[in-house]
Chain A
Amino acid sequence: DVVMTQSPLSLPVTLGQPASISCRSSQSLVHDDGNTYLNWFQQRPGQSPRRLIYEVSNRDSGVPDRFSGSGSGTDFTLRISRVEAEDVGVYYCMQGTHWPRTFGQGTKVEIK
């Protein structure tokens, strides 16, 4: 299985400050079709996961533009330009290139 490793696992942030989460995969996530299937999800307390970013850097509809994704190959990053109170939750990366699909351990974002 492809292992997805996130860091940090806990991220205390000050409101209005930037935040960054790293996700590294044990194998390249470039698919045979040329696409890289790396998604980012947000899970607020008590809610279902919600997709924020797909194929590394494409923001889903309705996702604030303070969220951005970047990276390639095995190294990916989710950035929040200015953290707001509603961003509290756990963030997961997930690879959709290889079977089985695998998720990172999750990064808990909280307000300092």
Chain B
Amino acid sequence: DVQLVQSGADMKKPGESLKISCRGSGYSFANYWIAWVRQMPGRGLECLGIIYPGDSETRYSPSFQGQVTISADKSISTAYLQWSSLKASDSAIYYCARGASMFDYWGQGTLVTVSS
């Protein structure tokens, strides 16, 4: 079965750094894009960007360019989303999903809380 398993919830202070993960299994991880999607409290879905683990080609949505970094390590079938300096407005649930357009399988979500 295809599965995307994300790292657990995290609570940070403004200005701190954070890296969350998404591990794929049940398919050839290197050959499918992974997307990161944000859902702010009580709000809709926004795509931050996508990465192709096979060669680490990455595309960022213009709204998130420079705000986050997406990476992947195909040797351990894991994609990452990281922040160098968190803001309170980064508080949200972050999902990973398979595909550049498909979004056919989703992780369980990682709740990120940024509060002083």
Contact = CB atoms under 8 A, between A and B. Distances in A.
Nearest to B49: A100
Closest 9 CB pairs of A and B: A96-B101, A100-B61, A101-B47, A48-B106, A103-B45, A37-B101, A106-B44, A51-B104, A105-B44
Nearest to B95: A48
Contact of A103 (B46, B50, B108, B109): B46
B106 A92 contact: no
Interface residues of B, number: 23
Interface in B81-116: 95, 97, 99-104, 106-109
Contacts of B45: 41, 49, 92, 94, 103, 106
Contacts of B100: 96
Given A48-B95, A103-B44, 10 more contacts: A39-B101, A39-B102, A39-B103, A41-B45, A48-B107, A49-B45, A49-B97, A96-B100, A96-B102, A101-B50
7 contacts: A39-B103, A48-B108, A49-B97, A97-B101, A100-B62, A101-B50, A103-B46
Interface of B: 35, 37, 44-47, 50, 59, 61-63, 95, 97, 99-104, 106-109
A17 to B, nearest CB: 26
Given A48-B95, A48-B109, A94-B103, A101 B35 contact: yes
Contacts of A41: 45, 103
